Amino acid sequence: MASASPEIQQRATQLRQQLQKASYAYYVLDEPIMEDAVYDRLYRELEELETQYPELIVPDSPTQRVGDIPADKFISVRHNIPLYSLENAFNLAEFTKWQERWQRHLASIPDNFEYVCELKIDGSALALTYENGLLVRGVTRGNGVTGEDITQNIRTIQTIPLRLNLDNPPARVEVRGEAFLPIDIFEKINQARATAGEALFANPRNAAAGTLRQLDPKIVSERKLAFFAYTLYIADAEKSQPDNLQVPGISSDEFFNPTTQWESLELLQEMGFKVNPHRQVFQSLEAVADYYNSWDNARQNLPYLTDGVVVKLNSHELKEKLGFTQKFPRWAIALKYPAEEAPTQVENITVNVGRTGAVTPLALLQPVELAGTTVQRATLHNKDFIEQLDVRIGDTVIIRKAGEIIPEIVRVLPELRPENSQTFQMPHNCPECNQPLVKPENEAATRCINASCPAILRGSLVHWASRDALDIRGLGEKIVRQLVEANLVNSVADLYDLTVEQIASLERMGTKSAQKLVNAIAESKKQPYSRVLYGLGIRYVGKVNAELLANYFTTIAQLAQAQTANLAAINGIGSEIAQAVSEWFQIPANQTLIERLQAADLQLAKSSDRETSRQTQSLAGKTFVVTGTLPNLKRAEAEDLIKQAGGKISSSVSSKTDYLVVGENPGSKLEKAQKLKITQLSEAELRKMIE
């Protein structure tokens, strides 16, 4: 086996130092410097390097310990049973490999083995000890072997019973679970902290951890932590020492002996603990995969945060046979959802010219999985942003998903920066047309002001064809580039003059595909006036503002002649947008574009069709909430239909809600609607109301 190069040795050293620093900040200082997902990725990178080059393994590597040092503000105690962390799988392929691994450790595999799936709560793990039914000790996870005794704080959590709900409890019971903050409580805490001028918690998990370690139990009580129990150990009745707790099961004939994880969860609930209601038992990997996939979107409607699914073998007998590795139980795994943040390295920095002429720097990255997709680039916004971050080629950076746009870099890890790195300099000329770039004094963006720049034209065409604008299916970036390079299109109006023969002449475009695109372009003529306004790409005019303008100025001619003051007087428009709209219509080229679009028969006025008018009134004065996955419509499409029919959209259920439109996996909104006796509608029933 080849030895590690000096560069790889340096990388491993840097990773060890950074992970140790992050662990100290998290466990000892209570001041996290890194998201869990980022820590997991860097940990995985170090683990892979040590696997490939065993000589890199040193005794103090984070991979060679179960956990990290607990804080010393509370009394440190030894756990009766070690709190092992779970191995992580970041996709279904890794989950499949885990099954193959545990099965290799058995002489024979039972035909009827089962998996118990539980949502992985994003909180803080606790170990609770009960003696003769009374809570006597509560300990944080710490490093898995020792933790902090925070019994007084734990006693304030309403979902943790002070006495087990049993007539004849065993002598000693050990319960494991997760303390967490519900999202609404977390938001109230942060609002109060903001009012008091205090630093905000980064997320509910950090807030829960910080709450548990408060020295004053009254503060813990005020913050209303919750708790889900998920593991049960019961001591052998004939042995009294905590170290003799069995894993799991009991030998007492006077007490129910759970033989499965599911029975343990049921017993925990009988004892008085809250157990997550979404747990399920499955007999196959495929069923587990369906469960995992179904909660990927549905978890957004839960009143607490979950970042994955914990999968455990149901049989306690199988668990005992499999045992543990040095760090993990072989019989359980955490199947995590794609991270919202991830570390990667910057391979290069380039620039992109958008439809408004803004020149945006882009970081070209080592490919990394983020929120279910492979990310290879991230926006750097502008020159000031680059200087503020001090991001350089070769840097290890943290990228974050921001909606459905290109992921952005949120911070740099300078400890992992290579030697002799250089700062990035913005170009002086446009990379597309070579014309000089300008940076207006009142703007952060650098711009190309050449109206004939091919990049600006391409961006305008892609925007025009986008889903929220004219929604021209099949007209993507590749086809747009070909049309521009072939000089077939020089404005959006040229799209409506294209012929099947012209499109078919493009590379990899046959007659059938060309005909589909021509049909899609023709179909876009039916899109409403507000979408056309949005598609024009007027600066600052987004989808919502386009609808406002279309409602106040019902024809494009009225809008073109509107005074700036009249535009600014519209609630939601304002002076900046008004000025941009007025200036756009004063440009001769734009006036010509409107004339050509009128000639092409696009909708440049609000429809006065009686049927449309009737539909517009059918939901007037009613408030709707949409939840779950609908069979045919995306949520945004359903909300558009409701608004077009005169209805109002709300993001949350309240007494003012008239209807709840329900799809699959509706979550907590359905429960609240049922309590308030709000009428529920299926997608079909909604369509019927509109029609």
Beta bridge mates, 400: 341, 408
Beta bridge mates, 178: 125, 228
Looking from the CA of 685 toward its CB, the CA atoms found within 13 Å total 10
Burial zone of 108 (CB within 10 Å; 0-12 exposed, 13-18 middle, 19+ buried): exposed
Q: Helix %, strand %, coil % for the chain, to 5?
A: 40, 20, 40
What angle in degrees, to the nearest 10, is found between the helix axes of 454-465 and 477-485?
Answer: 140
Instruction: Output the six-digit token pair for 362.
Output: 């882009």
SS3 598: helix
Q: Taking phi first (over 0 means left), then psi (-120 to 50 degrees means alpha), and beta for anything else, what does residue 667 get?
A: left
* CB-CB contact of 127 with 79 (8 Å): yes
Alpha helix locations (H) across 619-680?
Answer: 635-644, 668-675
DSSP 320-376: HHH-B-SSSBTTEEEEEPPPSEEEEEEEEEEEEE-TTSEEEEEEEEEEEEETTEEEE
Q: How far is it, in rounded angstroms, from Cα 631 to Cα 121?
A: 29
* CB-CB contact of 397 with 391 (8 Å): yes
Instruction: Output the six-digit token pair for 112.
Output: 């009827």
Say which DSSP state 211 is in. Answer: H
Give the other-Cβ count within 10 Å of 588's Cβ: 7
Q: Among residues 547, 546, 523, which one has the least CA distance to residue 601?
A: 523
120 is catalytic: yes
Please list, in sequence order, all residues whose beta carbon lies within 8 angstroms of the beta carbon of residue 667, skipping any fewer than 6 positions away: 298, 300, 301, 302, 627, 628
Residue from 21, 120, 218, 383 carrying the catalytic annotation: 120
Instruction: Output the six-digit token pair for 588.
Output: 């001769």
Burial zone of 215 (CB within 10 Å; 0-12 exposed, 13-18 middle, 19+ buried): exposed
Task: Report CA-CA distances (Å) from 197 to 208, 529, 594.
Answer: 20, 47, 52
Give the other-Cβ count within 10 Å of 113's Cβ: 16
Say which DSSP state 179 is in. Answer: E
- Maximum C-alpha span of the chain: 94
Q: How far is it, in rounded angstroms, from Cα 386 to Cα 483?
A: 34
Sign of CA dihedral 84, 90, 94, 99: positive
**Phi and psi for 446 in degrees, rounded to 5?**
-95, 140
* CB-CB contact of 420 with 392 (8 Å): no
Q: Taking phi first (over 0 means left), then psi (-120 to 50 degrees means alpha), and beta for anything else, what does residue 98 get?
A: alpha
Strands 396-400 and 341-353 turn out to be antiparallel
Please list, in sequence order, all residues whose beta carbon lies within 8 angstroms of the beta carbon of residue 317, skipping any fewer than 6 positions away: 259
Burial zone of 613 (CB within 10 Å; 0-12 exposed, 13-18 middle, 19+ buried): exposed
Could you give the angle at the alpha carbon of 200 between the alpha carbons of 303 and 229, nearest 5°?
A: 35
Alpha helix locations (H) across 117-203?
Answer: 151-154, 183-195
Query: Is the omega angle on the peptide bond into residue 248 within 30 degrees of 0, that is, cis?
Result: yes
Say which DSSP state 445 is in. Answer: S
* CB-CB contact of 71 with 27 (8 Å): yes
User: Which sequence positions are flagged as catalytic?
Assistant: 120
